[in-house]
């Protein structure tokens, strides 16, 4: 397989590993947005959240929860962002599901990928109803 994260998970490509079990691997990002920027990946290939097995999603989140306190303590972070993108349009660069763990400090220069603005209440109501109906089918 040509997936770089699959090669890292299999040991074919080295990584700065933090944590590993039979389902997941956590390692430092080689192009970090901040000190301690880490990636949590399932060892089984899944393109994105929509393709990820529920057991692997649970394992990824459990690993994130296990690693987070160490990241915060060791880096002296005051907070932690979890970030995950699906598809190129959303900014996903590697087509293998991965969760970013980003230790944060007040005044750091890491910015959110979106700018918030107030939404129209009627439009929100209509969208919520449409989504709820889609989930019932």
Q: Are 5 and 14 in contact (CB under 8 A)?
A: no
**98 is annotated as an active-site residue:** yes
- What does the alpha-carbon distance between residue 18 and residue 30 come to, in Å, rounded to a whole number? 13
Return the SS3 of 63. Answer: helix
Per DSSP, the three-state class of 45 is: coil
Q: Which residues pair with 27 in a beta bridge?
A: 17, 39
Q: Which candidate in 45, 96, 98, 100 is catalytic?
A: 98
Question: And the tokens for 4?
Answer: 């770089």
Catalytic residues: 98
């Amino acid at each position: 397989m040509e997936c770089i994260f699959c090669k890292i998970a299999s040991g074919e490509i080295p990584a700065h590993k933090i944590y590993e079990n039979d389902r997941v691997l956590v390692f430092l990002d080689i192009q970090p947005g901040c000190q301690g920027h880490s990636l949590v990946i399932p060892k089984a290939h899944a393109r994105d959240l929509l393709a990820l097995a529920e057991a692997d999603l649970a394992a990824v989140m459990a690993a994130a929860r296990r690693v987070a306190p160490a990241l915060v303590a060791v880096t002296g972070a005051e907070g932690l962002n979890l970030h995950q993108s699906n598809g190129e349009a959303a900014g996903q660069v590697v087509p293998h599901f991965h969760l970013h763990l980003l230790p944060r400090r007040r005044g750091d220069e890491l910015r959110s990928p979106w700018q918030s603005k107030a939404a129209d209440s009627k439009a929100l109501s209509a969208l919520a109803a449409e989504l709820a109906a889609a989930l019932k089918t």
